[in-house]
Structure formats: C-alpha cells, structure tokens
Structure 1
Amino acid sequence: MTRIARLIGKRRGDHSRLGFALQVVTVRHLGMFLADPLDVPVELVDYLAEQLDIEDPSCVKQYTEREKTKLEHAWEIQQECGLSSFAAVESELSAWIADQAWVTGDGPKAILEGAIAWLRDRRALLPGIATLERLVAEGRQAAVGEREVAPLPAGVPQRRQARRGGRGNRRAGATHRRRAGRAADGGAGRSAGWRRCGRSCRC
C-alpha cells in the first residue's frame, strides 16, 4: 500500500475518502488543485469510487460542505508529495522569465511553455494559466527596457536554446496548457484525459 493510499484510508467517511482521492488525481494530472475539487468528469468520480469500494459515488457531494476540509487535504497532499507552493518560487520564476526574454528573444508561447516546465522541474504547484501569462507579459516588457539600456553583447545568439530539455519541455508545456484550459472551460476531450489519469493514478 502506498503512502497516499494510507492517507486516503485514514479519512472518515466515504465522501471524505473519495474527495481526497480526487484531489490527489487533480494535482497529479494538472499540477494544481482546483478551486472546486468536484469540477471533474463524473466518469472519474465513478472510477475512483470503484477503486475505493464506495457503493454510492454521489456521496462525494458532501465533500465540499465544509470549506476547510478541501484546504486541509490539499495541504496534506502537498506535503506528502513534496510539492512547493507557487508563492515560494514566484519571484525566482519571474527573474527566470525576464532573463529568458532578454537572452533568447523568444515569443510569449515559448516562454510560457518554458515556465511551466521550470515549475514542474522544481515540483512546484502551478498557478492558473492567466497568472503565468501575466508574468510572461511583464517579463517580456522588462526585457524590452533592459535591451534599450544594455543591448546583448556582440556574438550572443538572439534565440539561444537556454531551456532545459528543449523540445521535451515545449511538449510538456503545451500539454499543460491543454489540460489547464480544459479544466477551466470544460472543453471537448476533457473526460477522456481524466479517465486516462484515473487509470494511471490508482489509489
């Protein structure tokens, strides 16, 4: 039995066990906790309920009746999985974004994908996509000012590949953008992705 499975087993009540498991799957799949832990496809709820031998999956509706429960569980999962909060790395990420924008001259999409890979490499929770887009915009704006004051030295390539992992990081970033977008807008294909995640995150 894994440590996460033991933590799930300690919950009191089927609704608490199922809600806890949903938060585990969410953070593994998206890299973040949802504001509403129940904003997931019903297929995922049914699948996890089956894995946990819970006869009535609809009991999970009770999970959000107490606001503090989801927050306490999220904190516990974060500690158990060794995840850093976004706030703990935000200033470092902002500096990295500004540096990338100044050195590489990359556009917002490439820098955004690099930022997502940067966070995942450091096992940090991801913020909402709007927050990352804001940081990228601010970093690129700062880079414009820096270039006006201190242009790049001669011989430094404008588009130096400075991101660790190259194309792999770009693929990882693109994947997160799709996942985060689907979590926010309920786009087509979301259910299939969650079902795959449920199968790969057995409790």
Structure 2
Amino acid sequence: MPETTTTARAAAASAAAGCVLAGTVAVTVAVVAGPGPGLTGYVSEAGIAGSGYAPAYRIGVFALAAALLLLATALPPALRAAAALLGTGSLFTLLSGAVTCSAGCPLPPFEAATVADLVHGGASIAAVAAVVFAMLALAFLPAAAPRLRLLARLGVAVALPLAGAVGLAMLVVGRGALVGMLERLLLALAAAWGLATATRLALAGRQHTDATVDASVRDRR
C-alpha cells in the first residue's frame, strides 16, 4: 500500500476519533444540562425546537455523522462492505440531525406522530442499525485485522441484544424509563466502539508509517 494512502487513512481515523469524542460530549451536555428528556425520554428530545441546548445537540449529531464518514474512509479497500454501511449510517445520522422531532419525539404505535417525527425517528433507527451491521461485517470479514475483528465481535455481542430490546420495548411499552435507558446504553456502546475502532486504525497506520521509515533508514546505511 502506498505510504501516502496509509498516512491518509491514519489521519482520517484520528479525525474520526476526535469527532466521536466531540460529538458525544456535545450530545451528552445537551441531554444532561438541558430541560429535555431526562431518563424517561429519547435522547433526540434534547434537540427539539425551542430548547436552549438544541444547537449543541445538533452540532454533536453532525460531528458523529462526520465521524462515521471518516471511519469509513479509514477502512482499507478490502473492507468496503463495512465502509459502505458506515457511510450509510453517516447519511442517516446527518438526516436525523437536520430533521428535528416535535416535543416528546412521539412515535407509533402509542403516540400520534408528524411527518417530521417519522423522518427523524426512522433516520435515527436506520443510522444505529447501519452501525450495528457494520460491526457485524467487520466481525466476520476475513480481511479485517484480528484486533478490529475482536472489537467488532465484542461490540456486536452486546449491540444486537440491546437493539432487539430497544425495538421490542418501543413496540410493547412505548416511551418511558425502560426505552430511555436501553437507548442510552446502545448509543453509548456505538460511540465506544467507534472510538476504539478509530483509535486502533490510527495506531496501526502510525506503526506502519514508523516501520516504513525505519526500513528506509536501514536501507540507506
């Protein structure tokens, strides 16, 4: 692999890690400090129109969308299936941040939802699903480095049951403390996996660059 390509991928991975951190902090501040969802509502409620922390929430979501796109860029060509899923997740995350839900972020079957609520909710669900499927792809693609596969397998082992529990709870129970806590756990896991994967890719790229430089120095002697 050309050195410039390796360096570019490492830089993209480093930027992805930074965006994950910045996005997670911004969304967390909006949820915790704002008057929004507390523990019984959806995280998205922090971004409803009129909330003083809506801009921070939206910036955080856009940063997370950028992180997914950068992470997709940082993956080698042999992992294009996972990269495509991450790119798809980035687009849906961007849509989720651009289209805000109404107060309470109502969703069927227990609440009447507007078109914006449905678009926002559908985009948010699709974004998380794309990330989980990207984990699944990396967990079993032979071309993935062993440590990337390990991170993905650990992530998907927790993410799949959580995602299933969130979906079931939304259909059976509806908005409340159970869905709120499960949603936060799933989002936190996705962010942690993204940060760990981006950091691993950045370190691997840096190690490759250092090894190439050392080999070049030895060849000149």
TM above 0.5 = no
More helix by proportion, 1 or 2? 2
TM-score, normalised via structure 2 length: 0.31
**Normalising to structure 1: TM-score of the pair?**
0.33
